[in-house]
Structure 1
Amino acid sequence: MTTSTDPRVPGNSRPTLSVVIPMYQELDNVEPMVARVHEGLADYGGDWELICIDDGSRDGTGERLHELAERTGSHVRVIRLRRNFGQTAAMQAGFDAARGELIATLDGDLQNDPADIPRLVDELLERDLDLLQGWRRQRQDGLILRKIPSRIANRLIGKVTGLALHDYGCSLKVYRAEVIKEVTLLGEMHRFIPVWMAGVTSPARIGETEVSHQARQFGVSKYGISRTFRVLLDLLSAFFFLRFGSRPGHFFGSIGIVFGVVGALLMSHLLVVKFVLDENIGHRPMLFVSILFLVTAVQFLTTGVLAELLIRTFYASGERTHHRIRWQSDSATAGWKGRA
């Protein structure tokens, strides 16, 4: 018998939920974070699990998570990566391990409020979305180092990608598992998850809603002003992969054709000058420019062919991740919180 998950129907339980939290050097936040997740989901009304990913911490975060999971119950699962692979890889590890119909993510620094998750779940279902993005409208961060660069980046991302959201950087999100698991996260892609999601679902099924935000109480922020420059580089990568990820030959080939046409026109003009007007072209700068354009065209065209071969090899290989897990809870014995 299938249970409806429509939150508008009284008595219906919510879908199974996996809460994924990547953590790096957050020893002091481990216990309060796990406690607040349990408080926030105490009245969730459905089965849920908590998946904490230790991204190669060296301050004892992984050990503390493991100890806490042993005391709390089998619904708290811990994944420990062999080294610090980055937040994107940690989130991918969590998505791979998640068993819920929905997946919620948030940072492990206690700035996101887990109590917002049930409301986001209801809103995602009610609006029939595949992704509901949190919007930290009242953001409790520094103006110069965090707020202003973030606002600039959000507007720039919206202009370039055509997906206008107020707060791409908010980690508090709720996804339909079947959709987010179609996205393979690599590099620093966690900043652009809504953009990558738009590649596998309609942008109309991606929404946002206001969420609460609190100042960091423990630990040290991992972000700085250098993040702004990385965002710009990641934005270029996101634009390329969204438009030409499955057909890179079109990108490089188009540039090669432009250079080739210009170079051919210049060379045709020089041939007319040489053989019709009988003038010397050996020392003309146009000759060297046309040769340069033709050689560049050949390079771009061959690069496009090689890129097509590589992308086909990549998809054929089935390789999904670049992180390596050191240890994780056994999903076969993992339980759900809230199961009767």
Structure 2
Amino acid sequence: MEEFAGTSATIGPRAARASHRLSLVVPLFNEEDNVAPLVAQVQAALGQQAMPWQLILVDDGSEDRTAERVAQAVSANPGQLCAVILRRRFGQTAAMQAGIDMAQGSIIATMDGDLQNNPADIARMVRRLIDEDLDLVVGWRQQRRDNLWLRKLPSWCANRLIVAVTGVRLHDYGCSLKIFRGSVIRQVRLYGEMHRFIPTWMATVTSAARIREEPVSHFARVHGRSKYGLGRTFNVILDLLSVYFFTRYRASPGHFFGRIGLACIGVGGAALGYLAWHKLWGGESIAGRPLLMLSVLLIAIGVQFACTGIVTEMLARTYYESGDSKTYSVREVLGSIAINEPSIHARDLR
């Protein structure tokens, strides 16, 4: 594995796990009643592990007392907790990116802050990522505790659609519990609402064979309100168009827009040829025929797709991938971002 380049090839899995550090990133929005239980669950799940770890809480401009509860949690646990307080709500994707930018671990985990994920699953997923030399392990909520019509059915439809378009076959794209190899996820920039497509973006920088899924626990929401609903299904469809473009045509965007442009030019040119035949050999007047205007319009649209479409899409991508551009603004950082070494009484990720 890349973290152990130059070391002996006989290094064992347990020694390999001990050489890693884990950063757990949790975005929060209006989850004031979940902050304290979340911190307690994470400490119970990871507190006795030999692998050094840190918990990064990201407040995404919450409108309740979430930021206050986060500050209290960091003050009470200064060793392994830190927090990022964003100036306003930028969205879950931007909050997740802020936490990843802050993370110091060679392994980065993400999960929701609504207590529906189980931190106890993290150790098993981390062990699998290291032992099988993977770059991403995705949680699979086989027994979801959500409303059938508002959550489970739209999620099922979205998952099938994403698999059909992207070709990266996973059962549960919407599960936020994911374990990443830090060196790989840091090559991917997240913006918009692209957090649900992370496996697809990861497949652009690593092999899909190094992405696996792991069954995880799932609980019903106890505190707060869900931020998901049927409206997000339409966002998935729109975002999927962008994912399809950048995963298939990022290296040659002219092929994508060029096909649309050539199709429009071809149809418009054929219609103009048809009118020219009637004009030259039939002696008919074509000046007042709607087909003439439609033909010219199709050709103009085709040229526009072939030229301006490519330029604008590439400019947008260049902006988001530039080193100085970020999709969030940090108000303050609480606690230390360093990862402390575990107690000598801690046990390994067995």
Same fold (TM over 0.5): yes
Residues matched between the structures, number = 339
1:301 aligns with 2:306: yes
Q: Which residue of the partner structure matches residue 212 of structure 1?
A: 217
Counterpart CA distance in 2 for 1:316 and 1:196 is: 13
For residue 336 of structure 1, what is the amino acid of its counterpart?
Answer: N
Aligned equivalent of 2:96, options 79, 91, 99: 91
Q: Which residue of the partner structure matches residue 35 of structure 1?
A: 40
Q: Which residue of the partner structure matches residue 111 of structure 2?
A: 106
Q: Which residue of the partner structure matches residue 336 of structure 1?
A: 340
Structure 2: gaps (5+ residues): 345-350
Q: Which residue of the partner structure matches residue 230 of structure 1?
A: 235
Deviations 1:218-245 (A, max 9, x none): 2222222222222222222222222234
Contact 1:46 1:339 in 2 (8 A): no
Shift of 1:40: 0.3
Q: Which residue of the partner structure matches residue 58 of structure 1?
A: 63
Counterpart CA distance in 2 for 1:225 and 1:152 is: 11
Q: Which residue of the partner structure matches residue 135 of structure 1?
A: 140
Q: TM-score, normalised by structure 2?
A: 0.89
Shift of 1:267: 2.0
Contact 1:250 1:304 in 2 (8 A): no
Deviations 1:89-120 (A, max 9, x none): 10000000000000011111111111111100
Counterpart CA distance in 1 for 2:319 and 2:85 is: 27
Higher RCO (CA-CA < 8 Å; seq separation 6+)? 2
Shift of 1:155: 1.0
Deviations 1:112-169 (A, max 9, x none): 1111111000111122211100001011111121111111111111111111111111
For residue 218 of structure 1, what is the amino acid of its counterpart?
Answer: H
Shift of 1:246: 4.7
Aligned equivalent of 2:52, options 32, 43, 47: 47
Q: Which residue of the partner structure matches residue 322 of structure 1?
A: 327
Deviations 1:180-227 (A, max 9, x none): 111111111111111111111111111101001111122222222222
Q: TM-score, normalised by structure 1?
A: 0.91
Deviations 1:263-322 (A, max 9, x none): 223323333333344433223343223222222222222323533662575378434421
Counterpart CA distance in 2 for 1:54 and 1:74 is: 19
Map 1:1-340 to 2 at 5 A.
8-9=13-14, 13=18, 15-307=20-312, 310-311=315-316, 313-314=318-319, 317-329=322-334, 331=336, 334-338=338-342
Contact 2:52 2:339 in 1 (8 A): no
Counterpart CA distance in 2 for 1:6 and 1:139 is: 39
- Give the percent of matched residue pairs that are identical in Structure 1 and Structure 2: 50
When residues 22 and 7 of structure 1 are mapped into structure 2, their CA distance, relative to the original with a 3 A threshold, is: farther
Structure 1: gaps (5+ residues): none
Contact 2:166 2:200 in 1 (8 A): yes
For residue 186 of structure 1, what is the amino acid of its counterpart?
Answer: Y
When residues 236 and 11 of structure 1 are mapped into structure 2, their CA distance, relative to the original with a 3 A threshold, is: closer
Deviations 1:67-100 (A, max 9, x none): 2211212321110000111111100000000000
Counterpart CA distance in 2 for 1:228 and 1:309 is: 26
Paired residue secondary structure (1:28): coil
Counterpart CA distance in 1 for 2:74 and 2:303 is: 58
